Structure 1
Amino acid sequence: MSETPTELKYTSTHEWLRENSDGTVTVGISDHAQELLGDVVFAELPEAGQQIGQGEQLAMLESVKAASDVYAPVSGEVVEVNSALEDAPELVNEACYTEGWLVTLRASDPEEFGQLLDADAYLSSTAED
């Protein structure tokens, strides 16, 4: 059974978003997504300072099974990337909601948050997978 924290927002493409107290958001992939992907062996992350639009490719995760794109849940500027994934990409599998986060963004369009799913809606969408 996949873990789905209720305080996060989700996308139908399996990304999660956590709103931080400093106005930034942290983004990663859901537990469901990392289970589907399998053992992550490489993470290609964007550069800090890069502008990204909602729904655009934000990162790429490579597993023993396949490579998978990760999409930006909201538009914004990449503020920080999780450099720990360079040496330990398996953190995405081991702790996708904590140490396995991918990037921090400074969101540029607050209205985009209304398009995200809460945990219940996300769980309903994964039941169809």
Structure 2
Amino acid sequence: HFLGYFSKEKHCPQKYNLSCITVLPNRQRQGYERFLIELGYLLSQKEGQIGTPERPLSTNVAQTYEAYWKIKLVQQLLCYYYKSKDKCILSDLMNETGMIIDDIIDTLQNLGILTMKSNEK
């Protein structure tokens, strides 16, 4: 059964892990969007790359990515906690999640885990 699709450029200098994601309307909100996002990140990691979706994102896709990023980062932070790691290094989070630093920082700020001084990123 056809549920949806995604496209990914093979050699993308901007590090986009997905260029387009579409799930048929009658199959939306059933987890298929998140599955395709996860697949895009797994393919990028297999290639030894980190990635981010091509922007702009539709409202629904942006919400799905934000939820995905929150889950992935909280899972990774819990792994650090259970392994009694006393530091969380952003570059480690980047390599372990496949997410670019900007997406990690934005998500941690949205979760209230990270705060930045003004004019810094």
Which bin holds the TM-score, normalised by the shorter protein?
Answer: under 0.3
> Which structure: greater helix fraction?
2
Higher relative contact order (CA 8 A, sep 6+): 1
Structure 2 length-normalised TM: 0.27
User: TM-score, normalising length from structure 1?
Assistant: 0.26
Higher relative strand content: 1
